[in-house]
Amino acid sequence: MISSPSQAGRLTKLAEAASTIPLNRIWLAFFRPDMVYSSGDNTLKGTGFETSSSGDYGFASVKKSIQKLQAAGVEVFLSIGGWDNNCFPYAYATYSVGGYGSGGGEDWYYIEKYGNGNVSNCLPENQYCYVCEPKSAGETAKNYLMFPEPGHSDTWKQAVSYIEGRTQEINSAQDKTSMNSSDAASVLASVPTPEWHTDIVPGKAWKDPNYPNRNYVTVPGSSAFESTGTKDPYANFVMLANDLGVAGIDLDYEEFWHADTFKTVGSGGTMKDGPWLLYQTVYKYSAIIKDLMINIANSKNKNLKLSTAGGAVSAWSGKWWGGNLKGLLLLAKQHFAETIDFMTTGTNSGGISVMSYDLSDDPKYTECPSPGVCSLQQQVAFYMNTYQQAGIPAAVGYEVGAPAYPDPGIPGSAKYTLPLTTSALQEIVSQTQKKNKAQGGFFWEMYKEAGSSSNADPTAVAQAICKAVLGSGNERCQGEIPQP
Report pLDDT for 247: 98
Residue 484 lies in a domain: no
User: Do 209 and 133 sit in the same domain of this protein?
Assistant: no
| Exposure letters 44-79 (e unless 16+ CB within 10 A, then b) | bbbbbbbbbeeebbbbebbbebbbbbbeeebbbbbb
pLDDT number for residue 189 = 64
Crossing angle of helices 59-71 and 9-16, in 10° steps, is 30
Helices (H), 356-446: 376-389, 422-428, 434-435
First to last CA, the chain: 13
Give yes or no: residues 233 and 117 share one domain.
no
3-state per-residue secondary structure call for 263-275: CEEEEEEECCCEE
- Its domain, for residue 289, covers 5-89+142-478
Question: What CATH number is given to the structural domain containing 25?
Answer: 3.20.20.80
Is the residue at 220 inside a domain? yes
41 and 111 in a single domain? The answer is no
Residue 45, domain member (yes or no):
yes
* Contact criterion met (CB below 8 Å) for 45 and 57: yes
Summarised one tens digit per residue, pLDDT across range 222-278 is 999 999 999 999 999 999 999 999 999 999 999 999 999 999 998 888 988 888 999
Contact predicate 329/335, CB 8 Å? no
Rg of the chain's alpha carbons, rounded to an integer? Answer: 22
Is residue 234 a part of any domain in this protein?
yes
Q: pLDDT tens digits for 19-66? A: 999 999 999 999 999 999 999 999 999 999 999 999 999 999 999 999
On whether both 67 and 20 belong to a single domain, the answer is: yes
Shared domain check, 232 and 95: no
Are residues 220 and 136 located together in one domain of the fold? no
Residues of the chain with pLDDT under 50: 174, 177-188
Residue 266 has what pLDDT? 87
Separation CA 4–CA 109 (nearest Å):
30
456 within a domain of the structure (yes/no): yes
DSSP 78: E
Global pTM exceeds 0.85: yes
225 lies in the same domain as 105: no
**Residue 483 counted as domain residue:** no
Residues 464 and 384 in one domain: yes
Alpha-carbon distance 66 to 58, whole Å? 12
What is the C-alpha to C-alpha distance for residues 438 and 460, in angstroms, rounded to an integer? 20
| Shared-domain flag, residues 405 and 293 | yes
98 within 8 A of 107, measured Cβ to Cβ: no
Statement to judge: residues 215 and 358 lie in one domain: yes
Q: Is residue 25 in some structural domain?
A: yes
Q: What is the pLDDT of residue 105?
A: 84
Are 68 and 40 found together in one domain? yes
| Separation between Cα atoms, residue 288 and residue 85, nearest integer Å | 15
55 part of a folded domain: yes
- As for how many domains the chain has, the answer is 2
Claim to verify: residue 117 and residue 150 sit in the same structural domain: no
